[in-house]
């Protein structure tokens, strides 16, 4: 039996008036991947109907060093209203850590200086990663808002899990 998992939640009010909702425990969410990591039952296949929307979610968003493929200290998770060194240190990207660890797809909705929607079907679920190898994101300096959702099916198919939104500034 899986234990309740922590759900990361931030809410966005506007690009110039930020607010943050504190991390909270979502007792209805379970993390099946932890059992797999401990030698238990592996999580369902990403295409399996057993990956219900209420059982998948974004645990956190992390700033990743694309050279080492590890989180950048102080940005795992990325705090709301953070100042990210993406333009001065171009070997960085943002990764969505999901529960379970493998889902059908993750959609990034990025608004701000650069605006785009991106769907990633394979882990690691990162922005600007056509090769699933932690490609750098060439972000332009300025203010951004990002909303990320996990889906049970590839190409954003099925009922998504709850969105995670945060705001940040690229320096």
Say what the pTM is.
0.70
- 52 confidence band (pLDDT: 50, 70, 90): low
- Whether the per-residue pLDDT at 25 is higher than 70: the answer is no
Q: What is the mean pLDDT of residues 46-58?
A: 62
- Whether the per-residue pLDDT at 56 is higher than 50: the answer is yes
Q: How far is CA 126 from CA 64, 94, 131, 142, 156, in A?
A: 9, 6, 10, 20, 15
Q: Determine the structural domain holding residue 18 and report its residue range.
A: 4-170
More confident residue, 109 or 46: 109
Distance CA 60, CA 78 (A): 8
pLDDT tens-place string over residues 116-154: 999 999 999 999 988 888 899 999 999 999 999 999 999
- Whether the per-residue pLDDT at 91 is higher than 90: the answer is yes
Residue 54 confidence (pLDDT): 60
How many domains is the chain partitioned into structurally? Answer: 1
Distance CA 40, CA 109 (A): 34
Residue 133 confidence (pLDDT): 85
Which ranges constitute the DSSP H helices of the chain? 32-37
């Amino acid at each position: 039996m899986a234990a309740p998992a922590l759900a990361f939640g931030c809410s966005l009010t506007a690009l110039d008036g930020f607010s943050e909702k504190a991390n909270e425990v979502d007792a209805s969410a379970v993390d099946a991947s932890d059992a797999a990591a401990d030698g238990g039952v592996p999580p369902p296949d990403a295409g399996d109907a057993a990956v219900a929307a209420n059982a998948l979610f974004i645990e956190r968003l992390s700033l990743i060093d694309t050279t080492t493929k590890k989180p950048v200290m102080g940005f795992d998770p990325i705090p709301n209203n953070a100042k990210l060194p993406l333009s001065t240190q171009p070997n960085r990207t943002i990764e969505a850590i999901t529960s379970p660890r493998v889902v059908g797809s993750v959609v990034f909705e990025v608004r701000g200086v650069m605006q785009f929607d991106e769907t990633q079907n394979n882990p690691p679920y990162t922005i600007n990663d056509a090769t699933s190898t932690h490609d750098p994101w060439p972000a332009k300096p300025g203010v951004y808002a990002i909303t990320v959702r996990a889906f049970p099916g590839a190409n954003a198919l099925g009922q998504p899990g709850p969105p995670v939104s945060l705001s940040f500034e690229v320096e």
